[in-house]
């Protein structure tokens, strides 16, 4: 899929002049200041930037966890700039799959129950949830650990379960925030390979990271600095190590 064919369709996500300002009394912190960005279906993208660059704020907006203070945002061609917290929650439940640096599995629940968690919050009817959860676990290679507790798993295994949870409701966008930040390099690599695999199967994956080496695995890198997108690079297939 190249840039030209993508232009013919609506992007999955489009930001136009998005700003996020925090009023700190005397001063106004401009975490994001006029960001234009398009994410197409089937892309494998990294948002890259040092801490304080605004990449986390950008991720929160892209993941519908937060509301922009200015600009317009479109999801699937629909203007979602002014939607309320419950509508954002509905989009998070059905359209976004989150993967976190610290995995964020609920320790009390079994692996299977953790994967099932998103179905409790979806407002659309949920069928055959257990089968689907097992399929999701199968996709990340964790089907045999369904009954385990997160505490019985290694870091890499936990992240795989978290990815299965993100896949549970067949999201339009998988949003991973430093997914390899807490893993050793070998494990990190296998997780990144898993994302690559999911992308190859048609999934749209967006990784937020400060690590160039992680970003190099993706096909498109968006560099964020001081609340703006400063540079965009597209990796060649053969450039991926």
Partner 1 sequence: MNLVGAVANGFGEIWTHKLRSLLTLVCVLLGVASLVLVQGFIDGLFDGWRSSIEENGGIQRIRIMTDTPPESQKARSGISPGLSIEDAKAIQQSALLLDGVTPMADQNDALFQRGRKSFRCRDLVGGWPEIFQIRRLELGQGRAFGDLDEQTAAQVVVLGAGVAKALFEEGEDPVGKTVDLRGVPFTVIGVLRPYEKWYGTFNLLREKNETALVPLSSLMRRISGSTVPQGIEVQAASVEDVTRTAAALESLLVRLHRGIEDVRVISQDMQVATFREQKRAFMIGGMAIAAVSLLVSGIGIMNLMLAAIHERVREIGVRKALGAWSRDIFVQFVVESCTLSVCGGLVGIGLGFGLISLLQGNETIRPIFSVNAALVGFGFSVTVGVLAGLYPAVKASRLDPIEALRYD
DSSP letter for each residue of the chain = --HHHHHTS--SEEEEEEEEEEEETTEEEEEEEEEEEEE-TT-EEEEE--TTSSHHHHHHHHTTSS--SEEEEEETTEE-TT--HHHHHHHHHHHEEEE-TT----TTS-HHHHHHHHHHH-SS---SHHHHHHHHHHHTT-GGGTTS-GGGS-HHHHHHHHHHHHHTT--SEEEEESTTTTS-HHHHHHHHHHHHHHHHTT--EEEEES-HHHHTTSSEEEEEETTEEEEEEE--GGG--
Choice between 93 and 198, CB closer to partner 1:
93
How big is the CA angle at 238 (ends 236 and 241), to the nearest 5 degrees?
105
Choice between 116 and 221, CB closer to partner 1:
116
Q: How far is the CB of 177 from partner 1 (least distance, A)?
A: 9
Choice between 11 and 171, CB closer to partner 1:
171
Q: How far is the CB of 171 from partner 1 (least distance, A)?
A: 10
Q: Which residues bind to partner 1, rule: CB under 8 A?
A: 60, 63, 65-66, 85-86, 89-90, 92-94, 98, 100, 104, 106, 108-109, 117-118, 120-122, 165
Q: How far is the CB of 231 from partner 1 (least distance, A)?
A: 26
Choice between 31 and 192, CB closer to partner 1:
31
Q: How far is the CB of 56 from partner 1 (least distance, A)?
A: 9
Q: How far is the CB of 94 from partner 1 (least distance, A)?
A: 7
Q: How far is the CB of 157 from partner 1 (least distance, A)?
A: 18
Choice between 95 and 219, CB closer to partner 1:
95
Choice between 49 and 171, CB closer to partner 1:
171
């Amino acid at each position: 899929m190249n840039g030209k064919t993508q232009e013919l369709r609506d992007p999955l996500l489009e930001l136009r002049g998005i700003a996020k300002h925090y009023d700190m009394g005397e001063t106004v912190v401009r975490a994001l200041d006029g960001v234009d960005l398009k994410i197409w279906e089937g892309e494998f993208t990294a948002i890259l930037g040092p801490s304080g660059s605004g990449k986390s704020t950008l991720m929160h907006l892209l993941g519908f966890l937060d509301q922009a203070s200015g600009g317009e945002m479109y999801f699937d061609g629909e203007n979602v700039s002014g939607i309320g917290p419950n509508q954002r929650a509905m989009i998070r439940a059905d359209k976004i799959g989150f993967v976190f640096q610290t995995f964020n599995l609920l320790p009390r629940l079994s692996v299977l129950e953790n994967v099932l968690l998103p179905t409790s919050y979806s407002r659309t009817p949920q069928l055959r949830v257990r089968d689907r959860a097992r399929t999701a676990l199968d996709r990340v290679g964790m089907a045999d650990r369904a009954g385990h507790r997160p505490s019985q798993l290694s870091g890499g295994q936990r992240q795989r379960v978290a990815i299965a949870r993100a896949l549970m409701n067949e999201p339009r966008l998988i949003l991973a925030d430093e997914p390899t930040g807490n893993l050793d390099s070998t494990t990190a690599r296998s997780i990144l390979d898993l994302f690559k695999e999911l992308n190859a199967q048609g999934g749209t994956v967006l990784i937020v990271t400060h690590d160039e080496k992680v970003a190099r695995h993706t096909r498109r890198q968006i560099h964020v600095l001081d609340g703006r997108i400063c540079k965009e690079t597209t990796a060649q297939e053969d450039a991926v190590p």
